[in-house]
């Protein structure tokens, strides 16, 4: 941008924006067409793109991407290191599951009931996040991380305890399809669920974009760099942080609700703190602070996880001596190691790697954030 | 370079006997410092001679403390810092200090939850620290050796902070606002302690109190907007009310707006 | 009455475990500002290797138990020191990245433990006396609780003594208060980092062996499940405060036992509620320093 003259900048900026929107639109259109195409990428997808297996995997990756985007609002935009974000995803998945089981009024058609249930679930995610946030945000930095972790753990405990048979305990909760539109039910409709996941991802992306561009987004980004500067202009960072935290919670709940439909059920695994750690890994892997970094990270992580799991069960691995077999048969060990290497040697993540060729350095804003973090943690 | 013409200084004679052009103990060239990405020191260059007191002056918030902290590597910095003939601008703080720098920070920064003795023990770098000297300078601290430093008065804390720097045989002291917020009596004691120290070790001093500057400084370096705007003999600046007003924003007496300085001027 | 005593002593025993994990976490955080997610792995690896050695010596004897504890502490210390030296140190002063690295390490090591020792719990054999009970005021208390409490107290005393009477202890105490100033006195504070990690790792490794006596088994997740409670304990006690960690460990564990017994197994939730209450009333924790709410 800077190499352009002052006169050309407005025009060029506008042109860039148009190109960006066009490219984004084209990408979404391509993704939307994928179920109608027959593309095979051996080693990445389990089968051609029109098969339910591949569509399921891609839809899963897109929902994780939506979730990672909502986490990006917290960690990337606001610099809030939350270890409890899985709680809201679980709230979305379990919330919709429970509402669909318990909420079935006569005066509403099944389709309307379904829509109302989804709305209730997302509102629930927002309210839960507002409550958790209002407490957790009383502390900042590392304490905040620990406190959100504690809440997530509490959520996980509740889910496993199966209060009044609501959550199904260790077994998890299966989807009650009574009021679910039939085009979202069954393996034959995986294609529709794929489109639903794509829709959720686009919606979440747009909301995240909107929040980032809004006044609250600017303020909360400023609080990341310098708490004091924001206080000086008379805004309490607490309020905007809470707002962003709650919106992120609602978006996570939306992704969770779609996840329930895609998987026709939900297991307590999504409520565990480990699941949030996975999210953190995804966001950092993709590149902190970048929207498409979160999306990229989610897709890469999901595909890697899937492929590594397949690899772990293969004969190739089984034939190796223990020293190699044991680590290679543990996808999480490999992903964790990869993550450590990225943190140590690739601070900009995968997106930073791509940017490295394009621009000069991806490290500027990260540096500033690190120092700001130091300021708030000591 | 160092040619103090002020007769009231008891050290004048000893300094006169030094060669007129000694190698500076500290050379700062094009020093830049940043805190959280913000430039707080900008292209600062000056020398600290091998003897006497060099005062680093300037209005509040001009970057004096940041300059000292950049020299020590306590904040992110670039530029050339040469200490006793070798470059130290890439060294971590502890290595710079180990080469013989004593640091008396702004606001004293004693360890509040450690006792006086523990504060001092922690600071000892030499095999044979000058405990006797410190005890002679600050008899108060001997009595309070078992007391937690956090419970000391401001003046006593400043003595702990000074003592930490004087325990070791240093080649340079960096002393940042040693009289800030102290009562006139304590200001006098601190000033005398620094004067005694200056007989054996060069000092780079940041100070607001003009009386203290007059008493201690041989040379002055004035910062404005993060840059050096004046370097020279202390007398050249201090005898010129107009310069004082321009560079330090105070009248040559006490500044009524600056209560700290006002209260701290010894009678 | 006997129930009360039983709950109290069992709570103290569990609190001892929490303390063994939380003491290291709190010290590490206090000195370095690092939230160490890998701390649970130090505990797990200490437990596994401690028992492996003990099993090869003579299963179920006191000697083997002592060996397990010593080996566990040593392994924990080595693992922790290596973590500090090879991973944390490279990211000096970049706290978020330091946390991230420990997160990665925690994920990777738990997976590795599962690969090596399997996903099922490994049951341990300890001296028969530990499995028996002793009657106090009508309460039949499992003997292992006494061992846990005694060793936690021993660890507390040892750490306090180390902090009070050694040069490293002095540097660590000063560093917790103001690390920058320690550096400015010419001290390489990074060496103290390794020491703190090693101490914390040793306590955790010992805690691992004791935790497996308490639960009767070792599993790849034994560390991570204790870690979350240790986090809560450090926040309630006040980050960086060893005394706070000790007090909060006992309070949290006893509260948990009582809630589990009297409120229908809601111990875990009661602990989180207690955390919320502490945050509302006193965000810096029971014994946390002023301004260290972050």
Residues C15, C253: contact at Cβ < 8 Å?
yes
Q: Dump pLDDT digits (tens) for C101-110.
A: 999 999 999 9
pLDDT higher than threshold 80 for residue C280: no
Chain A interface includes C277 (CB < 8 A): no
pLDDT at position A311 is: 80
Q: Please state the rounded mean pLDDT for residues A69-82.
A: 89
220-279 in A: which are within 8 Å (CB) of C?
Answer: 273-274, 277-278
Among the listed ranges A47-51, C84-88, C287-291, which one has the minimum average pLDDT value? C287-291
Residue B240 pLDDT class (50, 70, 90 cuts):
confident
User: Among B250-254, C196-200, C240-244, which stretch is predicted with the lowest mean pLDDT?
Assistant: B250-254
Q: 3-state DSSP call for residue B30?
A: strand
Q: Are the Cβ atoms of C283 and A336 closer than 8 angstroms?
A: no
Q: Do A277 and C106 touch (CB under 8 A)?
A: yes
pLDDT of residue C29: 87
CA distance B38 to chain A (A): 10
Evaluate if residue B9 carries a pLDDT over 70: no
Mean pLDDT in residue range C61-83:
93
Distances in Å between the alpha carbon of B212 and those of B191, B199, B240, B263? 7, 16, 17, 13
Tell me the average pLDDT across A120-143: 90
Mean per-residue pLDDT, B228-255: 78
For chain B, percent of residues with pLDDT exceeding 90: 51
Question: What is the structure's pLDDT at C209?
Answer: 93
What are the structural domains of chain B?
16-100+172-181+201-248 (3.40.50.300)
Segments making up each domain of chain C, as ranges: 19-227
Residue B71 — pLDDT band, cuts 50, 70, 90? very high
The Cα-based distances of B264 to A331, B20, B83, B211, B257 in angstroms read 67, 34, 32, 9, 13
The whole-number pLDDT of residue B5 equals 41
Give dist(CA A258, CA C209) in Å, integer. Answer: 43
Dump pLDDT digits (tens) for A82-114.
988 999 999 999 999 998 888 877 787 877 888
Smallest CA–CA distance, residue A88 to chain C, in Å, is 17
pLDDT band at C247 (very low <50, low <70, confident <90, very high): very high
CB-based contact B224:B231 (threshold 8 Å) = no
Contact call for C100 and A157, based on CB within 8 A: no
The residue-averaged pLDDT of C181-210 equals: 93
- Do the beta carbons of residue C167 and residue C53 sit within 8 Å? no
> Given this model, what pLDDT does residue A119 score?
93
- For B172-186, what is the HEC assignment? EEEEECCCCCCCHHH
- Two tokens, residue B74: 């306590």
- Average pLDDT on A11-22 reads 79
Å between B160 CA and nearest CA of chain A: 24
Interface test with A, best of B33, B37, B74, B76 (most A CBs within 10 A): B37
Average pLDDT of the segment spanning B205-230: 88
**Under an 8 A CB cutoff, do B36 and A367 touch?**
no
Residue B245's pLDDT is: 84
Average pLDDT, chain A: 81
Phi, psi of C282 (to 5 degrees): -150, 80
Question: What percentage of chain A reaches a pLDDT higher than 90?
Answer: 20
Taking 60 as the threshold, does the pLDDT of residue A365 lie above it?
A: no
Of A141, A154, A332, the CB nearest to C272: A154
The domain segmentation of chain A, as residue ranges, is: 39-377
**C283 touching chain A per CB within 8 A:** yes
Least trusted range by pLDDT, from A47-51, B157-161, C122-126: A47-51
Highest mean pLDDT among A271-280, C56-65, C71-80, C126-135: C71-80
Report the alpha-carbon distance of residue A89 to residue A252 in Å, rounded. 5
Helix (H, G, I), strand (E, B) or coil at C41: helix
Of residues C185 and A237, more confidence is placed in C185
Say if residues B48 and B26 touch (Cβ distance below 8 Å): yes
Measured between CA atoms, the residue of chain A closest to residue C35 is A142
Split at pLDDT 50, 70, 90, the class of A369 is very low
> Between B139 and A1, whose confidence is greater?
B139
**Most C-contacting residue of B76, B92, B93, B98 (CB-CB within 10 A), to test interface:** B93
Question: Are C294 and A280 inside 8 Å of each other by CB?
Answer: no
- Please report residues of A whose CB lies closer than 8 A to that of C107: 274, 277-278, 281, 332-333, 335-336, 339
What number is the average pLDDT over the span C178-193? Answer: 91
Q: CA A330, CA C108: separation in Å to the nearest integer? A: 9
**Domain spanning A39-377, CATH architecture:** Orthogonal Bundle (1.10)
Q: Is A313 on the interface with C (CB under 8 A)?
A: no
Q: Would you say how long chain C is, in residues?
A: 294
Tell me how far apart the alpha carbons of residues C200 and C41 are, in angstroms, rounded to a whole number.
Answer: 12
Name which of A74, A137, A147, A367 to mutate to probe chain C: the one with the most chain C Cβ atoms within 10 A of its Cβ: A147
What confidence score (pLDDT) does residue A245 get? 94
Strands B76-83 and B53-57 come out as unpaired
State how far residue B250 is from chain C, nearest Cα, in angstroms. Answer: 32
Going by pLDDT thresholds of 50, 70 and 90, the confidence category of residue C30 is: confident
- Across all residues in chain B, what is the average pLDDT? 83
With an 8 Å Cβ cutoff, are A377 and C95 in contact? yes
Average the pLDDT over A178-194 and give the result. 78
Nearest-angstrom CA–CA distance, C26 and C36? 9
Q: How far is CA A165 from CA A56, A173, A267, B91, in A?
A: 29, 10, 14, 63
Q: How far is A11 from chain C (nearest CA, A)?
A: 39
Chains in contact with A, where contact requires at least 3 CB pairs less than 8 Å apart: B, C
**pLDDT tops 50 at residue B35:** yes
Which of A142, A153, A330 lies nearest to residue C294, judging by beta carbons?
Answer: A142
Q: Which residues of chain A lie closer than 8 angstroms to C37, CB-CB?
A: 277
pLDDT single digits (tens) A218-254:
888 887 766 656 666 666 788 889 999 999 999 999 9
Question: What residues of chain B lie within 8 A of the CB of C174, using their CB?
Answer: 111, 114, 118, 122
Which chains pack against B, by 3+ Cβ pairs within 8 A?
A, C
Closest CA to C31 of C229, C235, C182, C223: C182
212-251 of C, contacting A, C-beta below 8 A: 224, 228, 231-232, 234-235, 239
Tell me if B113 and C177 make a contact (CB, 8 A cut-off).
yes
Number of Cβ within a 10 Å radius of residue B150: 13
Whether pLDDT at B169 is above 60: yes
Mean pLDDT within C176-190: 91
Query: Whose CA is closest to C14, among C255, C231, C221?
Result: C255
Q: Which chains touch C (3 or more CB pairs under 8 A)?
A: A, B
pLDDT at C258 over 80: yes
Cβ of A135 under 8 Å from any chain C Cβ? yes
Per-residue model confidence (pLDDT) at position C208: 94
A302-348, pLDDT tens digit by residue?
888 888 888 877 777 777 788 788 888 888 898 899 999 988 888 88
- Count CB atoms within 10 A of the CB of residue C1: 8
- B24 closest CA partner among B4, B44, B51, B3: B51
Give the pLDDT score at A100: 86
Tell which A residues from 4 to 63 touch B, by Cβ distance under 8 Å.
none
Residue A53 has a pLDDT of 81
Nearest to A70 by CA among A248, A214, A279, A334: A248
pLDDT over 50 (residue B182): yes
Task: Report pLDDT for B261.
Answer: 40
């Amino acid at each position: 941008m800077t190499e352009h003259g002052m006169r050309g900048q407005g025009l060029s900026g506008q042109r860039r924006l148009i190109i960006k929107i066009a490219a984004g639109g084209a990408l979404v259109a391509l993704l939307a067409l994928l179920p109608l195409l027959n593309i095979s990428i051996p080693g990445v997808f389990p089968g051609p793109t029109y098969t339910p297996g591949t569509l399921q995997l891609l839809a899963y990756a897109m929902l994780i991407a939506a979730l990672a985007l909502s986490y990006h609002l917290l960690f990337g935009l606001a610099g809030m290191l939350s270890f409890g974000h899985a709680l809201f995803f679980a709230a979305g998945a379990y919330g919709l599951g429970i509402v669909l089981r318990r909420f079935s009024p006569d005066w509403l058609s099944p389709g309307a009931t379904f829509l109302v249930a989804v709305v209730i679930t997302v509102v629930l995610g927002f309210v839960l996040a507002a409550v958790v946030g209002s407490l957790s945000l009383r502390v900042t930095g590392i304490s905040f991380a620990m406190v959100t972790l504690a809440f997530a753990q509490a959520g996980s405990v509740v889910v496993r305890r199966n209060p009044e048979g609501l959550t199904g305990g260790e077994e998890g909760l299966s989807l009650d399809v009574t009021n679910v539109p039939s085009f979202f039910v069954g393996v034959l409709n995986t294609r529709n669920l794929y489109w639903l996941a794509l829709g959720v991802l686009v919606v979440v992306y747009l909301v995240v974009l909107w929040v980032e561009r809004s006044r609250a987004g600017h303020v909360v980004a400023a609080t990341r760099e310098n708490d004091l500067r924001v206080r000086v202009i008379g805004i309490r960072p607490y309020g905007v942080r809470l707002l962003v935290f709650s919106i992120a919670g609602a978006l996570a709940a939306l992704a969770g609700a779609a996840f329930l439909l895609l998987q026709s059920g939900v297991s307590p695994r999504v409520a565990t703190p480990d699941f949030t750690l996975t999210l953190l890994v995804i966001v950092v892997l993709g590149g902190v602070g970048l929207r498409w970094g979160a999306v990229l990270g989610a897709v890469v992580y999901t595909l890697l996880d899937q492929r590594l799991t397949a690899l772990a069960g293969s004969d190739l691995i089984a034939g190796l001596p223990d020293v190699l077999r044991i680590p290679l048969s543990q996808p999480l060990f490999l992903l964790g190691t990869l993550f450590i290497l990225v943190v140590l040697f690739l601070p900009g993540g995968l997106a930073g790697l791509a940017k490295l060729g394009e621009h000069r350095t991806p490290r500027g804003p990260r540096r500033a954030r690190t120092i700001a973090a130091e300021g708030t943690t000591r | 370079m160092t040619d103090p013409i002020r007769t009231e200084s008891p050290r004048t004679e000893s300094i006169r006997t030094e060669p007129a052009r000694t190698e500076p103990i500290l050379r700062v060239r094009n020093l830049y410092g940043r805190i959280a990405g913000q430039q707080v020191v900008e292209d600062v260059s000056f020398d600290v001679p091998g003897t006497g007191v060099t005062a680093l002056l300037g209005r509040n918030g001009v970057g004096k403390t940041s300059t000292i902290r950049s020299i020590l590597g306590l904040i992110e910095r670039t530029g050339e810092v040469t200490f006793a003939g070798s470059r130290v601008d890439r060294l971590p703080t502890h290595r710079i200090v180990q080469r013989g720098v004593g640091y008396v920070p702004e606001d004293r920064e004693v360890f509040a939850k450690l006792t006086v003795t523990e504060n001092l023990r922690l600071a000892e770098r030499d095999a044979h620290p000058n405990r006797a000297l410190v005890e002679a300078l600050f008899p108060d601290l001997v009595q309070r050796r078992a007391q937690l430093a956090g419970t000391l008065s401001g003046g006593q804390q400043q003595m702990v902070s000074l003592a930490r720097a004087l325990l070791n045989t240093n080649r340079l002291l960096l002393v940042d606002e040693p009289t800030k917020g102290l009562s006139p009596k304590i200001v006098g004691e601190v000033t005398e302690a620094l004067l005694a120290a200056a007989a054996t070790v060069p000092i780079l001093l940041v100070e607001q109190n003009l009386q203290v500057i007059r008493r201690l400084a041989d040379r002055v370096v004035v910062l404005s907007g993060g840059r050096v705007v004046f370097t020279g003999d202390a007398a050249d600046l201090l005898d010129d009310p107009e310069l004082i007003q321009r560079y330090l924003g105070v009248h040559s007496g006490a500044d009524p707006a600056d209560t700290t300085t006002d209260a701290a001027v010894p009678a | 009455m006997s129930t009360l005593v039983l709950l109290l002593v069992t709570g103290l025993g569990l609190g001892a475990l929490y303390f063994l994990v939380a003491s290291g976490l709190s010290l590490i955080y206090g000195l370095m500002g690092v939230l160490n997610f890998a701390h649970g792995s130090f505990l797990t690896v200490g437990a596994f290797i401690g028992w492996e050695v003990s099993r090869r010596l003579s299963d179920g004897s006191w000697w083997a138990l002592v060996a397990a504890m010593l080996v566990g502490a040593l392994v924990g210390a080595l693992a922790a020191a290596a973590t500090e030296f090879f991973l944390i140190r490279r990211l000096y002063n970049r706290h978020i990245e330091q946390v991230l690295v420990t997160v990665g390490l925690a994920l990777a090591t738990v997976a590795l433990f599962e690969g090596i020792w399997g996903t099922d719990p490994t049951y341990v054999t300890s001296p028969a006396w530990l499995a028996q009970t002793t009657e106090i005021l009508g309460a039949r208390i499992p003997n292992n609780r006494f061992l846990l409490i005694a060793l936690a107290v021993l660890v507390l005393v040892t750490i306090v003594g180390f902090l009070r009477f050694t040069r490293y202890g002095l540097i660590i105490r000063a560093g917790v208060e103001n690390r920058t100033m320690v550096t400015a006195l010419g001290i390489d504070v990074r060496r103290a980092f390794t020491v703190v990690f090693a101490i914390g790792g040793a306590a955790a490794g010992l805690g691992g062996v004791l935790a497996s006596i308490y639960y009767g088994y070792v599993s790849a997740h034994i560390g991570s499940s204790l870690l979350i409670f240790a986090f809560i304990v450090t926040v309630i006690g006040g980050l960086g405060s060893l005394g706070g960690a000790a007090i909060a460990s006992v309070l949290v564990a006893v509260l948990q036992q009582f809630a589990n017994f009297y409120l229908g197994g809601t111990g875990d939730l009661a602990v989180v509620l207690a955390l919320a209450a502490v945050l509302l009333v006193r965000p810096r924790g029971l014994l946390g320093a002023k301004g260290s709410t972050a």
